[in-house]
């Protein structure tokens, strides 16, 4: 999107653009882009009020000189200053400059520059440069982590290291072992398309939107919806550049000549992979992943449940079936409000009032849809040949129908454009694009995720649901609640959809988030992932035994990154140079994302 154009341009297409949308999905991307375009009152470009964001601890002239030095070794085109008006773009053309789904003022989470290394030695070169000049780096793979900060850094003025633009090769797909090895710029779309092209009978597990990178999503503990939905659990082997520039490989990758890097994740000795996920301890340059063999068929099913309170019984019904692998995939239990929002229609088509859409109004609209009146919807998928699927589907039916008012919806009764068919694709290992539609719910739609985890237990889920509902009601936000069914736990994913063009709505959303995080922690629930600006608050809810976990993380940070150059503050982990200077944003929030500077360089360990 750009201010000058009178209509939206065609989104980038894969494989011409490594980060593009596959041709088969282009019509959806075009549709979504024009819907968002028409529903945007916020300016497409925001003029800069504060000029170039120079990182704390270095003067402007010194910084610009240092960047010039970097562009001499990396190439002019691969070092780009971020001093132009900010363009929010959208999912397929997201910005590398700031968080397009801003919560605070957009210039709070803005970078100073973006660099594009083209090889591992070039990543090492960038790291050496950052240590020399004490400049904070923020590595991204593709930066499509929208709702959690996108490509934005936690520390204003950090230099974004965009790993994906020039390092986007699929290094290996092994159809016998069902594994792959990828670079940071490989999206779920790209891997899927390549597998199809080669005609391999293997599947990629994919999140709701497939445009993000496999590495970024996995490092963030993202989930997908086939039986391989736990991406971190499916990864095998990392290659990492440490904040001091050394390169190393985890697991079997440490053994020269081993061919088991992607088949045995542990190797020998402590499993070090974990410290590179949701952290700021290294830059991942390669990752291996297990892929699912084509199970020889799959079948998605849909049940609806009438009453809000049915959630308790439903979850308790799901638990034993899921643990016993009768229910086979990471299914979704969704609140019915999302059913109408995912149609891509605007909220005003359903309800004109302020505050959350009233239950009766919602039910009135649902009545006109193929699924009818209900409060919860279960989308699940079974795998294998028909005989095997039928055996398990019968058990599921028997158990689900014990819940009074439960209804199985026959997929054949659903129109071709019903959201069901998108869920069926995703659970069948085919990345899609439908989920973005709910952004059209409000003008200038942005979203944030409130994502606490609980055991698969009705009593827990009711508590979390009550917390989310009360706070959404308090701040006048529609509740978009989904539970992703893990093996023994549920990820409750509340998508808080808001008008990012309205500073008042952004403030309300921030307060709602901070209250929910706090309420959930008081009841013993923690988030599995969160937006940049809530990471301090969430990290500090994991505070058992006098913050023992954070003390351990800080020890690791100081040992691995003595100059504190790598993603300071990511996941609430602050390097020594920043600690005790007011960088953390606690549960009360505040107007600035910055603290009071950093420890001066005199005592630093310049490498």
Cβ proximity to ligand ADP, 184 vs 253, nearer residue:
184
Only one of the segments 145-153, 332-340, 410-418, 589-597 lies at the binding site for ligand ADP (rule: CB under 6 A); that segment is 145-153
Cβ proximity to ligand ADP, 94 vs 322, nearer residue:
94
Per-residue binding string, ligand ADP, 95-134, x by CB under 6 A, is ----------------------------------------
Cβ proximity to ligand ADP, 239 vs 489, nearer residue:
239
- The token pair at 287 is 């990752």
Catalytic residue among 144, 500, 529, 570: 529
Cα gap 561→568, rounded to integer Å: 10
Considering only residues 163 to 182 of the shown chain, the ones binding ligand ADP according to CB under 6 A are: 163
CB closest to ligand ADP, residue no: 216
Per-residue binding string, ligand ADP, 356-375, x by CB under 6 A, is --------------------
Neighbours of 550 (CB within 10 A): 18
Only one of the segments 43-51, 140-148, 515-523, 584-592 lies at the binding site for ligand ADP (rule: CB under 6 A); that segment is 140-148
Closest approach, Cβ 347 to ligand ADP, in A, equals 26
Closest approach, Cβ 15 to ligand ADP, in A, equals 18
Of 35, 570, 577, 579, the one binding ligand ADP (CB under 6 A) is: 570
Told to judge if 148 belongs to the known catalytic residues of this protein, a careful annotator would answer yes
Phi, psi of 135 (to 5 degrees): -110, 130
Told to judge if 528 belongs to the known catalytic residues of this protein, a careful annotator would answer yes
Q: Residues 111, 48: contact at Cβ < 8 Å?
A: no
Q: Does 141 bind ligand ADP (CB under 6 A)?
A: yes
Closest approach, Cβ 382 to ligand ADP, in A, equals 28
Only one of the segments 83-91, 144-152, 345-353, 520-528 lies at the binding site for ligand ADP (rule: CB under 6 A); that segment is 144-152
Written in H, E and C, the secondary structure of 423-472 is HHHHHCCCCCCHHHHHHHHCCCEEEEEECEEEECCHHHHHHHHHHHHHHH
Cβ proximity to ligand ADP, 100 vs 513, nearer residue:
100
Of 53, 127, 186, 215, the one binding ligand ADP (CB under 6 A) is: 215
Q: Does 139 bind ligand ADP (CB under 6 A)?
A: yes
Of 66, 103, 114, 219, the one binding ligand ADP (CB under 6 A) is: 219
> Three-state DSSP class for 584?
coil
Cβ proximity to ligand ADP, 163 vs 311, nearer residue:
163
Q: Compute CA distances 17 → 3, 22, 537, whole Å.
A: 23, 10, 37
Q: Compute CA distances 358 → 10, 364, 426, 464, 479, whole Å.
A: 38, 10, 31, 20, 11
Q: Compute CA distances 416 → 4, 210, 422, whole Å.
A: 36, 21, 10
Only one of the segments 141-149, 191-199, 228-236, 293-301 lies at the binding site for ligand ADP (rule: CB under 6 A); that segment is 141-149
Considering only residues 23 to 52 of the shown chain, the ones binding ligand ADP according to CB under 6 A are: none
Among 96, 82, 189, residue whose Cα is nearest residue 145: 96
Q: Residues 241, 285: contact at Cβ < 8 Å?
A: yes
Cβ proximity to ligand ADP, 211 vs 595, nearer residue:
211
Considering only residues 548 to 567 of the shown chain, the ones binding ligand ADP according to CB under 6 A are: 567
**DSSP one-letter code for 541:** T
Q: Does 451 bind ligand ADP (CB under 6 A)?
A: no
Among 135, 129, 102, residue whose Cα is nearest residue 117: 129
Cβ proximity to ligand ADP, 277 vs 502, nearer residue:
277
Closest approach, Cβ 98 to ligand ADP, in A, equals 13
Catalytic residue among 144, 528, 570, 579: 528
Closest approach, Cβ 253 to ligand ADP, in A, equals 15
The Cβ-side half-sphere exposure at 104, using a 13 Å CA radius, reads 20
Told to judge if 529 belongs to the known catalytic residues of this protein, a careful annotator would answer yes
CA dihedral 217, 108, 500, 344 (to 10 degrees): -20
Catalytic residue among 148, 189, 475, 578: 148
Bridge partners (DSSP) listed for residue 203: 292
With tokens 């020890």, the residue in question is 555
Closest approach, Cβ 520 to ligand ADP, in A, equals 22
- 315 phi-psi bin (left φ>0, alpha ψ -120 to 50, beta other): alpha
Cα gap 171→289, rounded to integer Å: 12
Handedness of CA 171, 175, 180, 183 (dihedral sign): positive
Q: Does 344 bind ligand ADP (CB under 6 A)?
A: no
Q: Count of residues binding ligand ADP (CB under 6 A)? A: 22
Phi, psi of 90 (to 5 degrees): -165, -170
Closest approach, Cβ 153 to ligand ADP, in A, equals 8
Q: Does 223 bind ligand ADP (CB under 6 A)?
A: no
Q: Residues 377, 304: contact at Cβ < 8 Å?
A: yes
Per-residue binding string, ligand ADP, 266-305, x by CB under 6 A, is -----------------xx---------------------
Q: Compute CA distances 140 → 147, 216, 335, 433, 562, whole Å.
A: 15, 7, 32, 22, 21
CA dihedral 110, 112, 117, 123 (to 10 degrees): -90
| Interface residue list for ligand ADP (CB under 6 A) | 139-145, 149, 151, 163, 184, 212-213, 215-217, 219-220, 283-284, 567, 570
Active site residues per annotation: 148, 528-529
């Amino acid at each position: 999107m750009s201010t000058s154009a009178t209509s939206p341009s065609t989104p980038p297409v894969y494989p011409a653009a490594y980060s593009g949308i596959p041709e088969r999905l282009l019509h959806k991307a075009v549709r979504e882009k024009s819907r968002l375009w028409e529903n945007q009152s916020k300016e497409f470009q925001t003029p800069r009020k504060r000029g170039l964001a120079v990182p704390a601890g270095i003067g402007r002239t010194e910084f610009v000189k240092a960047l010039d030095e970097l562009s001499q070794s990396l190439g002019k085109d691969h070092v780009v200053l971020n001093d132009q008006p900010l363009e929010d773009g959208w999912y397929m053309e997201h910005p590398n400059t700031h968080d397009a789904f801003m919560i605070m003022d957009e210039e709070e989470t803005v970078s100073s520059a973006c660099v594009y290394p083209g090889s591992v030695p070039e990543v090492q070169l960038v790291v050496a440069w950052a240590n020399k000049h004490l400049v904070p780096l923020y590595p991204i793979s593709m930066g499509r982590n929208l709702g959690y900060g996108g490509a934005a850094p936690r520390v204003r003025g950090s230099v974004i290291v965009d790993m994906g633009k020039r390092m986007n090769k699929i290094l290996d797909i092994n159809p016998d072992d069902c594994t792959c090895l990828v670079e940071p710029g490989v999206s779920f779309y790209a891997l899927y398309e390549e597998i199809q092209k080669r005609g391999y009978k293997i599947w990629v597990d994919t999140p709701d939107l497939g445009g993000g990178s496999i590495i970024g999503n996995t490092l963030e503990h993202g989930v997908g919806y086939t039986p391989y939905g736990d991406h971190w659990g499916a990864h095998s082997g990392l290659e990492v550049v440490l904040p001091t520039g050394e390169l190393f490989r985890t697991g079997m990758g440490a053994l020269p000549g081993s061919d088991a890097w992607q088949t045995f994740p542990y190797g020998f000795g402590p499993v070090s992979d974990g410290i590179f996920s949701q952290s700021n301890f290294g830059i991942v340059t390669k990752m291996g992943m297990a892929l699912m063999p084509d199970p020889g068929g799959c079948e998605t099913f849909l049940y609806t449940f009438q009453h809000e309170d049915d959630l308790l019984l439903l979850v308790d019904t799901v638990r034993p079936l899921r643990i016993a692998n009768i229910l086979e995939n990471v299914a979704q239990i969704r609140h019915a409000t999302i059913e109408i929002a995912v149609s891509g229609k605007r909220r005003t088509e359903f309800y004109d009032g302020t505050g959350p859409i009233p239950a009766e109004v919602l039910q009135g609209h649902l009545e006109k849809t193929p699924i009818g009146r209900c409060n919860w919807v279960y989308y699940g998928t079974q795998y294998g040949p028909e005989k095997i699927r039928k055996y398990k589907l019968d058990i599921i039916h028997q158990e689900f129908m014990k819940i009074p008012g439960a209804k199985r919806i026959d997929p054949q009764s659903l129109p071709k454009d019903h959201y069901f068919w998108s869920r069926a694709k995703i659970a069948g290992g085919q990345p899609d694009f439908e989920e973005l539609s709910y952004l059209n719910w409000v003008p200038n739609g942005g979203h944030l995720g409130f994502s606490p985890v609980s055991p698969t237990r009705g009593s827990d889920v009711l508590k979390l649901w009550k917390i989310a509902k009360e706070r959404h009601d308090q701040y006048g936000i529609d509740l978009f609640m989904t539970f992703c069914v893990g093996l023994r736990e549920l990820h409750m994913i509340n998508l808080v959809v808001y008008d990012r063009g309205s500073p008042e709505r952004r403030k309300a959303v921030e307060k709602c988030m901070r209250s929910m995080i706090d309420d959930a922690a008081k009841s013993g629930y923690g988030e599995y992932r969160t937006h940049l600006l809530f990471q301090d608050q969430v990290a500090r809810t994991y505070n058992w035994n006098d913050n023992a976990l954070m003390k351990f993380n800080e020890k690791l940070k100081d040992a691995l990154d003595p100059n504190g150059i790598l993603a300071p503050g990511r996941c609430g982990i602050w390097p020594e140079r920043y600690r005790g200077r007011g960088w953390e944003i606690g549960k009360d929030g505040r107007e600035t994302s910055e603290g009071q500077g950093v420890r001066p360089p005199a005592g630093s360990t310049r490498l």
